[in-house]
């Protein structure tokens, strides 16, 4: 990719203003803090980030996904405004600078400039980023796929086996205690029934109302929901029970305030269970992808081979390689 990246369009609107705001923010940071210290890896990475394209931005989620380059390699930066904490409201109101924008009768709006320690932005950096990483965060259409038992063995499984090794290396790093050790909030070390429980990267760990945890199983031969049989019920029950207990102890949230589910298709092919607060409209909790853990256990009790034989439905994005596999096999009719 060329070092100079041209301005692109997002939903037909030029990104110039967005890109200029990001560049201006980077300039402000550099002026405030001076040159990046070599020992500070985060600052070094951000100072070396050259913007190419805004992949997606969400006013509702107050986030933006930016594709760029660091040292000639593709990179992704995700910027997310942190939720306002209840214990900071008093300081936010009394310690901020405000500028009147509009006043009409009893209504008025202001631009509020919060103190620096209350206006931080969660920043996630992926570098080097693969083409799949970039496509994952780019806005694009999705299509609902029907996958029969035969489709899984003929189309999906060969795709999984080809992609799985690089897809789960970061998971192995966690299980082998090579990374994110300090983020693990609970572990059952049993090799057959055990798992580690840690915060999902989407959660800032400040607001329990947005709680989002991931339970990653120690067994390394379970790729997805399709591999589960009645033999795995003890594992699933153990995750369900001990995950709920750990969350109650750590965050004071009872089981009836939690949602536990498994994705199909998952974003990576190593069995894991999502735990979120029930009131939180968590990304990926829609019925087309999320399968409640309680229902999974119940289905396997009723039919030991339920997920091996059942026809599954799930969404795939337009540029997903698996979607192309289904299209090439004549199992999907979508625009090219």
Q: Give the CA radius of gyration of the chain.
A: 23
Among 282, 200, 208, 281, smallest CA distance to 247 is for 208
pLDDT tens, N- to C-terminus, the chain (336 residues) = 444 454 444 444 445 555 555 545 444 444 444 444 444 555 667 888 888 888 877 766 778 888 898 888 888 898 888 778 788 888 888 888 888 888 877 878 888 888 888 888 888 888 888 877 777 777 667 899 999 999 999 999 999 998 776 678 889 999 999 999 999 999 999 999 999 999 998 888 888 999 999 999 999 999 999 999 999 999 999 999 999 999 999 999 999 999 999 999 998 999 999 999 999 988 888 899 999 999 999 999 999 999 999 999 999 988 788 999 999 998 886 555
At residue 139, the pLDDT reads: 64
Handedness of CA 136, 236, 194, 223 (dihedral sign): negative
Q: What is the CATH number of domain 140-328?
A: 3.30.428.10
Q: Phi/psi zone of residue 110: left (φ > 0), alpha (ψ -120 to 50 degrees), beta?
A: beta
- pLDDT on residue 4: 45
Domain boundaries, the chain: 1-82+120-139, 84-119, 140-328
Catalytic one of 67, 272, 274, 291: 272
Residue 320: name the closest of 185, 203, 155 by CA: 155
Measured at the CA of 49, the angle between CA 68 and CA 181, to 5 degrees, comes to 100
Our answer to whether residue 139 is catalytic in this structure is no
Of 84, 103, 101, give the one whose Cα is nearest residue 93.
Answer: 84
The helix (run of H) or strand (run of E) holding residue 307 is helix 306-309
Q: What pLDDT is stored for residue 333 in this prediction?
A: 66
CB atoms within 10 A of CB 127: 17
CATH topology of domain 1-82+120-139: Phosphorylase Kinase; domain 1 (3.30.200)
The DSSP result for 253-273, as a single string, is: --GGGEEEEEESS-SSSS-EE
Give the pLDDT of residue 115.
87
């Amino acid at each position: 990719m060329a070092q100079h990246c041209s301005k692109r369009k997002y939903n037909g609107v030029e990104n110039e203003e967005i890109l200029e705001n990001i560049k201006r923010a980077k300039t402000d940071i550099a002026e405030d803090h001076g040159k990046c210290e070599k020992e500070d890896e985060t600052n070094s990475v951000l100072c070396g980030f050259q913007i190419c394209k805004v992949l997606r931005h969400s006013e509702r989620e107050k986030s933006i996904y930016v594709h760029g380059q660091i040292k000639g390699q593709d990179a992704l930066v995700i910027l997310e405004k942190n939720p306002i904490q209840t214990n900071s409201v008093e300081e936010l109101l009394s310690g901020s600078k405000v500028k009147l924008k509009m006043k009409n009768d009893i209504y008025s709006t202001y631009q509020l400039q919060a103190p620096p320690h209350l206006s931080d932005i969660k920043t996630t950096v992926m570098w080097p980023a693969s083409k799949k990483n970039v496509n994952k965060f780019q806005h694009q259409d999705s299509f609902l796929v029907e996958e029969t038992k035969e489709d899984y063995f003929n189309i999906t499984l060969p795709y999984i086996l080809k992609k799985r090794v690089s897809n789960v290396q970061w998971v192995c790093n966690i299980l082998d205690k090579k990374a994110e050790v300090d983020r693990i909030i609970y572990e059952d070390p049993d090799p057959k029934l055990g798992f580690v429980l840690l915060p999902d990267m989407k959660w800032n760990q400040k607001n329990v109302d947005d709680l989002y945890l991931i339970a990653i199983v120690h067994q390394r031969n379970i790729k997805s929901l399709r591999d589960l049989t009645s033999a795995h019920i003890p594992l699933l029950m153990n995750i369900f029970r001990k995950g709920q207990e750990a969350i109650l102890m750590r965050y004071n949230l009872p089981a009836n305030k939690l949602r536990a589910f498994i994705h199909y298709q998952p974003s990576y092919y190593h069995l894991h269970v999502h735990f979120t607060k029930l009131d939180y409209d968590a990304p990926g909790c829609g019925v087309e992808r999320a399968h409640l853990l309680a229902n999974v256990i119940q289905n396997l009790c009723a039919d030991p081979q339920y997920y091996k034989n059942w026809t599954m439905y799930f969404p795939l994005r337009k540029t997903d390689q698996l979607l192309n596999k289904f299209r090439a096999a004549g199992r999907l009719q979508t625009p090219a």
